[in-house]
């Protein structure tokens, strides 16, 4: 037989014997432990509802009501914690388990605020005052509900919002790359880089090819002028030499004599051709032209090299800029999701409807503690609260009056003691004055007697 003992538990003025087992076998104490746990949980929930446990015992039928109200406060606090946890996860990208302490702290703060709002609504108030108080508390609850509802709504739409954000980012990257390519043409391409929309997209790729191109253009002009002048002078020299040869051969024609042999006209034309050849310096200019063409070829090669380097540099800068833009899009923050939700709402009426439906649902859910208290109306516990408040006020007033009377009595006693000390001091001063007066009178009497004695002795001598 296992050893058993009984434990007396008070119940409505009677004692209930509950058997318990000490070493095994017999009746299990589990129901008692479960009841104790439930009791502590119920007290905790009623504490969340701002209930005074000493008063609620007097109206036991109200326990279930206020326990349920505390459960609503706890549910609202847990939803608030889940909202913060979702928002923090979206913002930071940290694993949710590391953010759990912050979510629990936020849940405690929301529970404490709801407890404060509900605690102020216990008791009976005048209709006008109660209405104003309820409106103020509902306003605070609505603001808190909006703060809590938005992150939850974003969490629900997260997948669709992320798709929209990634698509928008891809479009932005494509537009950026296209504009950079258009506003930074490769050397040799002819595009308008002075357009107003290119002001912020121009990249520095070096100006070596530009300077080389200017020099190359100038050198080409020089070569062209030298080549054209040399060709013109060669034609001129050839025409003069042909004319002299025809004159010497006796060929007839315009400006020719038609006489064979080296005559005056033949010698003259030959002399003019030789002089033109000497003055035009065709051989020297041919060498100069060859030098200019050599420089032109070298400068063209340098220009091609510079253009290739600048093309590589510009392409690299465009690729780096696009890559940095893509890297800045690695994370999606909370504001981007809000903007994306607004964009989706403006594009789809169904999304707008669901968005507002969820927002209203979460706001109402977060306002449930205050709304539940208003729906319940006045209860027996509210009457007890009013009595307790009036009793506390009466006791406080009585205590204040007693303290006032005590203070006044102490002041009166001090005043009485001061009057007594003043009277004693005054009597002492009067006594000292009288004694001094009496002493002076005795001195005067002694002096008068001495004078009388002296006067009588002088009269005896005279006789």
pLDDT tens digits, residue range 417-431? Answer: 888 888 888 888 888
Residues 76-95, mean pLDDT to the nearest whole number: 81
Q: Say which range, 46-55, 134-143, 347-356, has the weakest mean pLDDT.
A: 134-143
Q: Pick the more confident residue, 210 or 155.
A: 155
Most confident of 170-179, 285-294, 321-330, 344-353: 170-179
pLDDT at 405 over 70: yes
For 415, residues 6+ apart whose C-beta sits below 8 A from its C-beta are none
Residues 324-341, mean pLDDT to the nearest whole number: 79
Domain ranges within the chain, ordered by starting residue = 49-156+348-378, 208-328
pLDDT at 7 over 50: no
pLDDT in tens, 258-287: 777 777 778 787 787 778 777 777 778 788
pTM of this structure = 0.49
Strand partners of residue 21: 4
Strand partners of residue 8: 17
Give the largest CA-CA distance in the chain: 215
Residues 71-92, mean pLDDT to the nearest whole number: 83
Percent of the chain scored above 70 by pLDDT?
81
Residue 187: the pLDDT is: 63
Mean confidence (pLDDT) of the chain = 76
Residues 374-402, mean pLDDT to the nearest whole number: 80
Residues 398-418, mean pLDDT to the nearest whole number: 86
């Amino acid at each position: 037989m296992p050893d058993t003992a009984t434990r007396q538990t008070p119940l409505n003025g009677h004692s209930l014997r509950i058997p318990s087992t000490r070493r095994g076998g017999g009746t299990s104490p589990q129901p008692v432990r479960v009841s104790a746990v439930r009791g502590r949980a119920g007290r905790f929930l009623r504490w969340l509802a701002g209930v005074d446990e000493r008063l609620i015992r007097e109206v036991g039928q109200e326990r279930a009501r206020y326990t349920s109200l505390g459960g609503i406060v706890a549910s609202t606090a847990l939803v608030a914690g889940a909202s913060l946890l979702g928002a923090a996860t979206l913002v930071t990208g940290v694993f949710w388990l590391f953010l759990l302490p912050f979510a629990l702290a936020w849940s405690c703060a929301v529970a404490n605020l709801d407890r404060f709002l509900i605690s102020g609504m216990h008791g009976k108030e005048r209709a006008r005052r109660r209405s104003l108080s309820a409106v103020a508390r509902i306003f605070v609850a609505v603001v808190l509900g909006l703060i809590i509802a938005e992150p939850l709504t974003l969490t629900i739409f997260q997948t669709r919002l992320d798709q929209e954000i990634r698509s928008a980012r891809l479009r932005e990257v494509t537009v950026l790359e296209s504009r950079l390519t258009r506003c930074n043409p490769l050397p040799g391409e002819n595009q308008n880089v002075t357009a107003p929309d290119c002001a912020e997209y121009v990249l520095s790729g070096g100006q070596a090819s530009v300077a080389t191109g200017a020099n190359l253009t100038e050198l080409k002009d020089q070569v062209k002028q030298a080549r054209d002048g040399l060709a013109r002078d060669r034609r001129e020299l050839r025409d003069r030499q042909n004319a002299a040869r025809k004159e010497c051969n006796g060929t007839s024609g315009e400006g020719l004599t038609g006489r064979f042999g080296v005559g005056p006209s033949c010698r003259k034309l030959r002399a003019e051709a030789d002089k033109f050849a000497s003055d035009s310096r065709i051989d020297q200019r041919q060498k100069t032209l060859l030098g200019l063409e050599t420089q032109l070829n070298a400068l063209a090669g340098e220009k091609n090299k510079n253009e290739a380097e600048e093309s590589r540099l510009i392409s690299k800068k465009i690729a780096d800029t696009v890559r940095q833009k893509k890297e800045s899009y690695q994370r999606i923050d909370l504001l981007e999701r809000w903007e994306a939700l607004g964009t989706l709402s403006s594009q789809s009426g169904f999304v707008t409807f669901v968005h507002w439906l969820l927002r209203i649902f979460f706001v109402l859910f977060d306002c449930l503690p205050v709304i539940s208290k208003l729906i319940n109306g006045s209860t027996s516990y509210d009457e007890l609260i009013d009595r307790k408040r009036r009793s506390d006020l009466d006791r406080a007033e009585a205590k204040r009056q007693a303290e006032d009377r005590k203070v006044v009595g102490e002041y009166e006693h001090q005043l009485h003691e001061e009057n007594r000390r003043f009277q004693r001091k005054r009597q002492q001063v009067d006594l000292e004055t009288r004694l001094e007066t009496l002493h002076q009178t005795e001195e005067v009497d002694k002096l008068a007697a001495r004078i009388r004695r002296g006067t009588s002795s002088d009269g005896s001598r005279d006789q």
